[in-house]
Structure formats: C-alpha cells, structure tokens
Amino acid sequence: MVDRELCHCMGVTEREVRLAIRAGARSVDEVGEQCEAGTGCGSCRGGIQLLLQQEERRASRRPIPDAIVQQLALFETRIRRGLGRR
Ligand code: FES
C-alpha cells in the first residue's frame, strides 16, 4: 500500500493520520493535536475528515466479541430445547 502525503504544510502522511485516529482522535482538530495534520493552511482538513469517516466505518465492522457469540449460542440451544429439537 502506497502511503501518500496528505498534509503538505506539515509533511504528514495518510498513514500517520490513520494512526492518530486509531490512537483516539475523533475530530479534525484532535488529529491536528496528535500529528499536526491540518494545522497549517487547512486545505487538507476535508481529506482528514474523510479518513475519520472511513476509520469510523472500519471500526464498526469489527468482529462480534466472543462473549456475545457464546451468549447467542447458549440462547440458540435453549430455543431448540424449548422447541423439542436437539
Ligand atoms: S496542507 Fe495540511 S494544513 Fe496545509
């Protein structure tokens, strides 16, 4: 994957912005506080906002935690027993 410079004023790459988001930045200003992207002329702030949205979508597709899967399996077993199936 090619890493491109997203913020030319501060020399910050797209990868560095994604790392800032994954480290907890939730707004363009918070990204700027972590890696300085978007703190110069501001022309890259729209690109940073897009990365924030992409990372939010990516995070929402995370796998279901094991504890929830186990609860669902238990629930399914109880339903089958309740219906007389095993
Ligand atoms: S290009 Fe990012 S602040 Fe100017």
Range 5-82 classified under CATH 1.10.3720.10 = no
The DSSP code for 64 is P
pLDDT digits (tens, 9 = 90+) for 2-23: 899 999 999 999 999 999 999 9
Mean pLDDT of the chain: 89
| CA of 1 relative to ligand 1 center, distance in Å | 22
> In b/e form, how buried is each residue of 42-67, taking b as 16+ CB within 10 angstroms?
eebbebbeebbeebeeeeeeeeeeee
The residues spanned by each domain of the chain are 5-82
Q: pTM of this prediction?
A: 0.72
Tell me, in angstroms, the distance from the centre of ligand 1 to residue 58's CA. Answer: 25
C-beta 32 within 6 A of ligand 1: no
The Å distance, Cα 11 to ligand 1 centre, comes to 8
